[in-house]
Amino acid sequence: MTDLTLMTFASDPATALPSLALLSHRVRVLPMDASSLVKMPENTVLLLDARDDLASAKTLCNLVHASGLPTPIMLIVTEGGFTAVNAQWGITDMVVTSASPAEVEGRLRLASEQRTSPVPIRGTAQDVTAETPSGRFVPATLWWTPMDTPQISTANPSIWHTRNLNS
């Protein structure tokens, strides 16, 4: 069970994300203002209701990052809100208000288990922000083009293909 904090302007919080009522998470509802950030517990996923006021939601996202809180932020938007949100908001994920319970649960699991370290892949470390795989702190050069990747991985699913760096 994940501890959730929902910040919303709505008088009825259940309208922000109706699927949330069908899931078994603890949900703390706070008003959507900067003073509510001090009332948040440490280990929580922050759900920001950006359906009605995208500007306030963006300001709160910036405040969370400026304060240094490691809280994952999930934005609740309408379909029209997708066009305004970009990487500068610093959110973990976003979900449409009409999302199914299965989609909301999956997104909450991913947000609560957010990783900040590289993902280990068979003795190598793949930095998810970089484009170059590395092994033993040495950048690995790929011997195939990106267009060949699906064919090679399908034919050899258990092999990590890199050039021999010792030769």
Rounded CA separation 45/89 (Å)? 16
Q: Using 50, 70 and 90 to split pLDDT, how confident is the model at 119?
A: very low
10 Å CB burial of residue 38 (0-12, 13-18, 19+) is exposed
- 107, 95 Cβ separation under 8 angstroms: yes
Residue, of 157 and 94, whose pLDDT is higher: 94
pLDDT the model gives residue 43:
85
Residue, of 25 and 115, whose pLDDT is higher: 25
pLDDT the model gives residue 130:
57
Task: Assess whether 9 and 51 both reside in one domain.
Answer: yes
In total, how many domains does the chain have? 2
Q: Is the pLDDT confidence value at 105 over 60?
A: yes
- Specify the range with the lowest mean pLDDT, choosing from 51-55, 101-105, 143-147: 143-147
The domain in which residue 87 lies consists of: 3-112
Query: Looking at residues 163-167, what average pLDDT do you find?
Result: 52
Task: Assess whether 103 and 140 both reside in one domain.
Answer: no
Task: Assess whether 106 and 62 both reside in one domain.
Answer: yes
Does the residue 87 lie in any domain?
A: yes
Task: Assess whether 68 and 128 both reside in one domain.
Answer: no
pLDDT digits (tens, 9 = 90+) for 5-48: 999 998 888 899 999 989 988 899 999 988 888 888 888 899 99
- 45, 74 Cβ separation under 8 angstroms: yes
Task: Assess whether 123 and 106 both reside in one domain.
Answer: no
